[in-house]
Amino acid sequence: MHPTYALMADPMPKKRVLVVDDNPVVRSFVRRLFELEADFQLSGEAENARDGIEKARNLNPDLIILDLSMPDMTGLATAPLLRKLLPETRIILFTVHEDPELERFASAAGIDAVVSKYQAASELVVQARALMASREQPDHSKIRNAS
């Protein structure tokens, strides 16, 4: 097959995103944000941590956008379970909480990046792309964001 046809027949697959946040407005906002991006698709939404773990198991997403404060489990407690379940999936903690120790806790929990809800949400897409690129790299170098 001519290389051009091969490219047309096999376009770069969209990266699948799962958003886990107890607030429906935030989930809707993130969904609309990623719907605008040609290289991502929102594959699922979960309204709490347990639902998030279940959907992660079923959907096998490339990226999980995870809230910190949820009614059943914190994002910090959820992340190690997700990491064990899906070692290759990247996790972004998307949080409104600002705490100097949060970055350290997040890293220890296996979270790849922290994005503050104080920042423009487009930063989520920037971090998502960087993490997807790092996923392709052999060393899986992680991205950290001071927020």
Q: Is 83 in the site for another protein (CB under 8 A)?
A: no
d(CA 26, CA 115): 13
d(CA 16, CA 76): 22
Please identify, using beta-carbon distances, which residue of 86 and 111 lies nearer to another protein.
Answer: 111
> Of 24-32, 35-43, 55-63, 128-136, which part binds another protein (CB under 8 A)?
24-32
Return the residue of 19, 56, 64, 76 that touches another protein, per CB under 8 A: 76
Please identify, using beta-carbon distances, which residue of 62 and 124 lies nearer to another protein.
Answer: 124
d(CA 30, CA 23): 11
> Of 3-11, 38-46, 57-65, 71-79, which part binds another protein (CB under 8 A)?
71-79
Instruction: Specify burial of residue 51 (Cβ count, 10 A radius: 0-12, 13-18, 19+).
Output: middle
- Quick one: residue 86, left, alpha or beta (phi over 0 = left, psi -120 to 50 = alpha)? beta
**How far apart are CB 14 and another protein at their closest, in Å?**
24
Interface map 27-46 toward another protein (x if CB under 8 A): --x-----------------
Please identify, using beta-carbon distances, which residue of 22 and 60 lies nearer to another protein.
Answer: 22
Contact yes or no for 113/92 (Cβ under 8 A): yes
Report which of 90, 91, 85 is spatially closest to residue 67, judged by C-alpha positions: 91
Return the residue of 99, 108, 140, 144 that touches another protein, per CB under 8 A: 99
The structure tokens 């027949």 sit at 9
Q: Is 70 in the site for another protein (CB under 8 A)?
A: yes
Using CB under 8 A, list all residues that contact another protein. 22-26, 29, 68-77, 96-99, 101, 105, 117-121
